[in-house]
Amino acid sequence: MTPKESVSRGATPGADRSDDSYLPEHGNGGYRVLHYDLDLDYRVVSNRLAGRADIIAVAGQPLSRFTLDLGQFRVQDVRVDGRPAKYLHRPDKLQIKPERPIGVGDTFRVNIRYAGKPVPIAGRWGNLGWEELTDGVLVASQPNGSPSWFPCDDQPGAKATFRVAVTTSSPYAVLVTGDPVLRRRGAGSTTWVYERREPTSPYLMSVQIGRYEVVDLAVGGVVQRVALPPALRRNVAHDFGRHGEIMSALQRLFGPYPFREYVVVVADDELDDPVEAQGMAVFGRNHVDGRRTHERLVVHELAHQWFGNSLTVADWRHIWLNEGFATYAEWLWSGVCGEGPADALAAHWYAWVAARPADVIVADPGVDRMFDPLVYKRGALTVHAVRKRIGDESFFALLRAWVAEHRHATVTTEQFRSHAQRFAREPLDGLFADWLDSPALPPLPR
């Protein structure tokens, strides 16, 4: 019996698709992952990754088979609860048929050994996931790049805990999204071990490998560190010089920082845009010029630790809840540091939006427009409109409660509408209909 035949018989309907309305082909049905334990051995020069994934999951329905997302690797062995399992690895999907069916509510363990040259996942947003740098590695997986380096249930609402061990050549530093728990030196190689105890979406897990030195960004309070190429030390010190103040300001506005530490990585390559991961943000050398030109992006990525990472969208159509709030955080910081109030920035970006076609619905922009700048700016204007309608005292109480009540969980636009209404004296249905549900641009909130 061929692997294909053994996997296909008795298949669970819908097991290889998620509930995400934009990317249903990414993610899987029928179970929920509780924990990933990843052991990775990576050779920088040859770009070769050997991995072992130990995954603990619970079945939401009877499973005669199930699937995981996994990119272009050679799968060497698959076991379910210690027993060899039949499997078939097609592009981006690993289909698994356990020796015995799994009952609804059962917790089960999947062990996968795989190896190969990791390549990013190609798609409409370019190459995502594990990517070679000039001398090292960068992992930026939003929204669907995680299978480029480990087998997973690749959907934003599929949060789990992680342990990640990476072994590589000793001259390189390894930064993983998580709390460092062990560093063990061997003969020419070093193993770095990190744990991510907070529930984390797979796309928010990241590995950064480079010839970095790691220094403090701020002293006291939340641990804040930066990994940087030594040649950029002076510019980084200036451009991130107010990071401690930014952290303090965002905590006053949004509530306590939701993780144990925050790590900034400045890659020794140019990047189009910075990218956030859980407890981490990655910038390119082009974002560090010694003049704080990109400080708004520093604020934006840090704000994602609250909006996007602790509070993660349940479905990609709700992306404005990540990007609108992170953009508005830029405007709030501008007011805190004396560079201009949020009202002025709202007026500026309102004019920018008004000069463009009114063809995006913020609450459901469509998969091709989910990262459109209009979603970011109109999303921020929506937040500003709520603030102007209910007043500052109620607005900031709303923000802190939103963050606290959904800490390390998933959120939707519908939940935010209901949440905001609790802090308003009058109905907000019309405001949200105008700003979120219609492409027409409403008047500037005053």
Question: Is 323 assigned to a binding site?
Answer: yes
pLDDT of 3 above 80 = no
Q: How far apart are the C-alpha atoms of 202 and 139, rounded to whole Å? A: 12
The pLDDT of residue 218: 94
Q: Which helix H or strand E contains 209, and what residues bound it?
A: strand 207-210
357 upstream amide cis, omega within 30 of 0: no
Strands of the 207-210 sheet, one edge to the other:
121-123, 126-133, 136-140, 207-210, 173-176
Contact 186, 168 (CB under 8 A): no
CB-based contact 24:18 (threshold 8 Å): yes
If you average pLDDT over residues 19-38, what whole number do you get? 95
pLDDT tens digits, 319-354: 999 999 999 999 999 999 999 999 999 999 999 999
Q: Which helix (H) or strand (E) holds 4?
A: helix 3-8
Strand partners, 37: 54, 163
Question: What proportion of the chain, given as a percentage, has pLDDT over 70?
Answer: 97
Which one of the listed residues 198, 301, 328, 330 is annotated catalytic?
Answer: 301
Band of pLDDT at residue 10, cut at 50, 70 and 90: very low
Rounded CA-CA distance 315/297 in Å is 24
Mean pLDDT rounded to a whole number for the chain: 95
Which CATH architecture describes the domain 313-436?
A: Orthogonal Bundle (1.10)
Structure tokens at 27: 């993610």
Helix (H) or strand (E) holding 50: strand 48-59
Report whether 419 belongs to an annotated binding site. Answer: no
Q: Tell me the mean pLDDT in the region 241-247.
A: 98
CATH 3.30.2010.30 domain span(s) along the chain: 213-301
176-197 residue pLDDT tens: 999 999 999 999 999 999 999 9
Residue 25 has pLDDT above 60, yes or no: yes
- Listed residue (96, 4, 19, 16) closest to 53, CA to CA: 96
Residue 304 marked as a ligand binder? yes
Q: What is the pLDDT of residues 197-232, one digit of tens each?
A: 999 999 999 999 999 999 999 998 999 999 999 999
pLDDT number for residue 11: 38
* Calpha distance 312→308 (Å, rounded): 4
The DSSP bridge partners found for residue 166 are 40, 192
Look at residue 12 and tell me whether its pLDDT is greater than 60.
no
pLDDT value for 19: 85
pTM of the model: 0.95
Tokens 């020419």, residue?
188
Write out the residue limits of the CATH 2.60.40.1730 domain(s) in the chain. Answer: 3-23+30-210
Q: Which of 99, 229, 100 is nearest to 173 (CA)?
A: 229
376 is catalytic: yes
Report the run of H or E that residue 228 belongs to, with start and end.
strand 223-228
User: What is residue 13's predicted lDDT score, i.e. its pLDDT?
Assistant: 44
Q: Please give the Cα distance from 28 to 15 (Å, whole number).
A: 6
Residue 246 has pLDDT above 60, yes or no: yes
Residue 328 annotated to the active site: no
3-state secondary structure (DSSP) of residue 58: strand
Class of domain 3-23+30-210: mainly beta
Residues of the chain with CATH 1.10.390.10: 313-436
What is residue 427's three-state secondary structure? coil
DSSP 304: T
Q: Across-strand partners of 69?
A: 93, 152
Which residue, chain included where needed, has tokens 């799968």? 75
**pLDDT tens string 117-146:** 999 999 899 999 999 999 999 999 999 999
Lowest mean pLDDT among 5-19, 235-249, 319-333: 5-19
CA distances from 15 to 8, 58, 62, 89, 259 (A): 12, 14, 11, 15, 33
Residue 69 confidence (pLDDT): 98
Tokens of 421: 């209404």
Average pLDDT for residues 49-62, to the nearest whole number? Answer: 98
Q: Does domain 213-301 have CATH number 3.40.50.720?
A: no
State the Cα angle at 81 between 78 and 84, rounded to 5°: 40
Is the pLDDT score of 8 beyond 90? no
Residues 19-37: what's their mean pLDDT? 95
Candidate list 87, 194, 203, 376, residue with the active-site label = 376
State the number of CA atoms in the 13 A half-sphere of 95 facing the CB.
21
